[in-house]
Amino acid sequence: MTFVDGFFLIDETGSLTNTQFRDVEDRLTVRLDRTMNRPERAVVMLTVSGGTQSHLVSAPGRADFHGTIAPDAVLDYGAKGIALGSIQYGHNTMQMDKYLRRSSMTSGSRKFIGSDGMEYKWQCLGDGCDWSLTNAAGYHVADYTRSDVLIPGRRTSCLNICGSWIHISVEIIASLTIMRHIAQNRL
């Protein structure tokens, strides 16, 4: 068994539709690419595109595609590309509002069940740019923060995924992207 001490991923653009999460030690790269942008909908694909530890990351329901490029997750936003649509892992599709359920009617936090059967909760911190993910037992799983780290000429954001949860990295990135979409569009 290989032990990895978590991923520290740089979100190179901060965009919800076109960016790349690249581990600072080049162990994992996950790309978000908008593949459809029409007035009625927008589709974003998440793809694990490389890194020395990418074999440790799997998306739920994803079959072995034998080297072909297939998305690990698909975010299909509805009306005008701003509504909540569906999320797809492999052949399994679910409505985003069912996948990420509100924790309470007054809270901005949402919960999801990971492919490992555990419940996870995203919570917005501060002004809506920083996020924290915990599991049902209250353990810290991941966090996303604005950063002063500069990639020549631009500010970036960072996603830190703790080592015990790297196996759900794709789910963490997909659910974070939906949470940021919800916050940005005030859904």
Is residue 118's pLDDT more than 80? yes
Phi, psi (degrees; rounded to nearest 5) at 40: -90, -15
Looking up tokens 């290989």, which residue turns up? 2
pLDDT at 12: 85
Would you say 123 and 131 are in contact if contact means Cβ atoms under 8 Å apart?
Answer: yes
Name every residue whose Cβ is closer than 8 Å to that of residue 154 and which is 6 or more positions away in sequence: 13
pLDDT at 44: 92
| Overall average pLDDT of the 33-62 stretch | 73
Give the Cα separation of 91 and 80 in Å (integer): 24
Name every residue whose Cβ is closer than 8 Å to that of residue 94 and which is 6 or more positions away in sequence: 86, 87, 88
Q: What is the DSSP string of 5-61?
A: --EEEEESS--SSSEEEEETTSS-EEEEEEEEEETTEEEEEEEEEE-TTGGG---TT
Is residue 109's pLDDT more than 60? yes
Q: Which of 121, 117, 116 is nearest to 135 (CA)?
A: 121
**Chain-centre distance of CA 35, in angstroms?**
17
Please write the tens of the pLDDT for every residue from 141-150.
999 997 666 6
Q: Which two tokens stand for residue 92?
A: 């399994």
Beta bridge partners of 111: 101, 121
Q: Which two tokens stand for residue 137?
A: 């037992």
pTM of the model: 0.87
What is the residue type of 45? Answer: M
Domain layout of the chain by residue ranges: 7-185
Q: Which two tokens stand for residue 40?
A: 């009625």
Percent of the residues in the chain that have a pLDDT greater than 70, as a whole number: 81
Q: Which of 122, 127, 136, 116 is nearest to 177 (CA)?
A: 122
Please write the tens of the pLDDT for every residue from 148-176.
666 666 667 999 999 899 999 999 999 99
